[in-house]
Amino acid sequence: MAVCCEIDNLKGRREVILDDMNSWINFSSCLENHLLLSSPIYRRQLFLIRSFGGYCCKAHMEGQGAASGKITALEADAETVIRKITPVLDPRRHKGQAGKIAVIGGCREYTGAPYFAAISALKIGADLSHVFCTKDASPVIKGYSPELIVHPVLEESYSVRDDEKASVAKRVLAEVSKWMERFDCLVVGPGLGRDPFLLDCVSDIMKHARKSNIPTVIDGDGLFLVTSNLDLVKGYHLAVLTPNVNEYKRLIEKALNTEVNEDDAPEQLLSLAKCIGGVTILRKGNSDLVSDGVTVNKVSNFGSPRRCGGQGDILSGCVAVFSSWARSSNKEMDDKSASSPMMLGCIAGSSLLRRAASLAFADKKRATLTSDIIECLGKSLEDMIPAEQG
């Protein structure tokens, strides 16, 4: 359905053109301000524009109007996105059809982050969750939960002689590659660390995933790796970057050679996504901003004032699952016009995490931990889309 808004400079009115209805409907302001007065048709149009195509009018696209030249981010209708892409619980489906996720991360120092990402994927409905980590991290992560499939295949510099590095790197890639086609999405970076040899091995894994068209969510030390080599993701439309404040600052400096501009945050994020070649970027903050280089969406439902570590790992696991669900639903419907599954996955994952964090904080207050938030993921999703109803 083609819908657009144009500003009447003389009368100060905006006209919404509904091509398929062959009619003109005049409003004193844009469609968004008339949600409560509009019909379900118009509410559906607004949702499609905001979550599946961008802006409802030129005034929104350019901030205060044509003269300002600014881009503003519209609040995404995250609840509708979640309902649209979450699969029905159908007894005819078999194990694996609701998602198979793999986390690439976990080293001697960091074992919690990959666990948080992997277990969060299971908690919102993925069928299988794998972790590819170092040998030192493996028994610890296995001890956290028997639900995870843990592969102790990664190596750090201290355990490999210089003359063995080439052969070991080849073996690591082979071990991960034989599983690759089974996965619906990878999460790269949680608890990865910055060991040079380990990062080189993960670079090879990411290149192989890209050749195989495996969606990839990059967080934590994976962003450190990508910032030092943007070509790993440049032009890859199935890649998602999830930077926090400091990670975003480094990306801006590297890709755009400038500083973060909070006054024009949506426009700068759009420019960054375009510069890296159409990847989807979820900029974490008080309000999460998401851009795929074409549109900018905002997710700002209330989360939690408690900033315990690990919430970003939960987010990466959630985005991986929702992105794979969105991709699957697009294929099932053969919907070529649907929005990017990575964009939808970011919107859904961000909103669900915020809901879960809010529930956890309401119960635990200052004592809220990451594990408390994880335990609220299921209820948060159930509140929006009851399992019995699909």
Binding residues: 191, 244-250, 284-288, 303-313
Q: What are phi and psi of 251, to 5 degrees?
A: -65, -45
CA distance to 168, 173, 320, 323, per residue, from 217 (Å): 25, 19, 6, 9
Question: Among 270, 256, 279, which Cα is nearest to 70's?
Answer: 270
Q: CA quadruple 352, 344, 133, 276: dihedral positive or negative?
A: negative
What angle in degrees, to the nearest 10, is found between the helix axes of 221-228 and 245-256?
10
The bridge status of strand 216-218 relative to strand 149-154 is unpaired
Task: Please report which residue ranges of 145-195 form alpha helices under DSSP H.
Answer: 165-180
User: Annotated binding site for ATP: which residue ranges?
Assistant: 284-288, 303-312
User: Annotated binding site for (6S)-NADPHX: which residue ranges?
Assistant: 191, 244-250, 313
Cβ atoms of 151 and 65 closer than 8 Å = no
Contacts of 156 (CB under 8 A, 6+ apart): 107, 108, 134, 136, 193, 195, 197, 198
CA dihedral of residues 216, 230, 222, 358 (deg, nearest 10): -70
